[in-house]
């Protein structure tokens, strides 16, 4: 006869919110840390389906998932629902949520429809000290592969643009065949390294990795960022202007001279 409880005594009732698990601790070097997950994140969806199967089953599923394709994980964090792509074990420990969290999460996830992984794009959000955000679409860009100079202009990466322009000019001056070879080699390089190059130049500008989100479009990413930080700023905002603190009114100084 199948035991009605998990090994730690938790009920196996698939409908019970108390069966949801959350992240307890995150290892220093782990996928969870690189994906910017946090202790307290509640995992309520796995592979576009509601998940209530307990800690052991979750760990086994991540062990068995395809590390190339990844799997969609749907997470609740303080009233915000996030979708991320997991590519294997997260390097975290887990625990079942308590009744207080269950009450908070019930209304948020009741009517939420978990999207399909194939309909989502993985975005990286980097933020600086002034809360300016740069959003990177991690989908491979064919322009970077076949027309590296144009891709560099689109992303305003003028330093590497100057470098490859010099390479093109020198190789073409030597022989057109050498130019063709160098162009093909650079295309192969940009196909593999364009994302890393873009991320590195943004970090060079004093930005830091903030969030990794799977979403249908940039507007959805901006909305998620604005919910986490109402003061988050974007170059081409699709969600309006950020919250601005009102400057305190200066008090008028009273004159020490009577009658003035």
Domains of the chain: which residue ranges? 17-116, 122-234
Beta-bridge partners for 124: 136, 212
Tokens 């290892």 belong to 27
pLDDT in tens, 71-81: 999 999 988 89
pLDDT tens sequence across 4-38: 554 445 555 545 777 899 999 999 888 888 888 99
Measured distance CA(11)–CA(4) in Å, rounded: 6
Q: Exposure pattern of 88-104 as b/e (b: 16+ CB <10 Å)?
A: ebbbbebebbeeebbee
The token pair that represents 205 in the structure block: 């500008």
Pair of tokens at residue 232: 């988050």
Fold assignment, 17-116: Pdz3 Domain (2.30.42)
pTM beyond 0.85: no
**For 154-173, how does the pLDDT look when each residue is reduced to its tens digit (9 = 90+)?**
999 999 999 999 999 999 99
Tokens of 84: 């991320």
Ranking 42-56, 98-112, 120-134 by mean pLDDT, the lowest is 98-112
pLDDT at position 93 over 80: yes
Judged against a pLDDT cut of 70, whether residue 2 lies above it is answered with no
């Amino acid at each position: 006869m199948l035991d009605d409880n998990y090994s730690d005594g938790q009920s196996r009732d698939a409908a019970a919110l108390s069966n949801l698990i959350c992240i307890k601790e995150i290892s220093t070097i782990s996928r969870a840390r690189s994906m910017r997950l946090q202790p307290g994140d509640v995992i309520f969806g796995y592979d576009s389906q509601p998940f209530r199967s307990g800690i052991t089953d979750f760990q086994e599923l991540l062990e068995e998932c395809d590390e190339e394709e990844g799997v969609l994980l749907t997470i609740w964090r303080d009233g915000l629902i996030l979708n991320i792509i997991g590519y294997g074990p997260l390097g975290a420990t887990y625990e079942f949520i308590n009744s207080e969290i269950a009450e908070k999460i019930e209304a948020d996830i009741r009517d939420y429809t978990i999207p399909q992984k194939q309909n989502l794009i993985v975005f990286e959000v980097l933020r600086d000290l002034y809360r300016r955000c740069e959003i990177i679409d991690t989908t491979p860009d064919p322009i970077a592969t076949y027309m590296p100079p144009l891709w560099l202009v689109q992303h305003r990466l003028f330093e590497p643009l100057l470098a490859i322009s010099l390479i093109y000019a020198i190789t073409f001056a030597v022989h057109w065949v050498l130019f063709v070879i160098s162009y093909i080699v650079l295309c192969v390089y940009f196909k593999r390294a364009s994302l890393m190059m873009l991320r590195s130049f943004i970090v060079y500008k004093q930005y830091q990795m903030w969030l990794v989100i799977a979403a249908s479009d940039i507007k959805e990413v901006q909305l998620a960022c604005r919910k986490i930080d109402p003061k988050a700023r974007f170059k081409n905002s699709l969600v309006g202007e950020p919250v601005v603190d009102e400057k305190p009114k200066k008090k008028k100084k009273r004159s020490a001279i009577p009658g003035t």
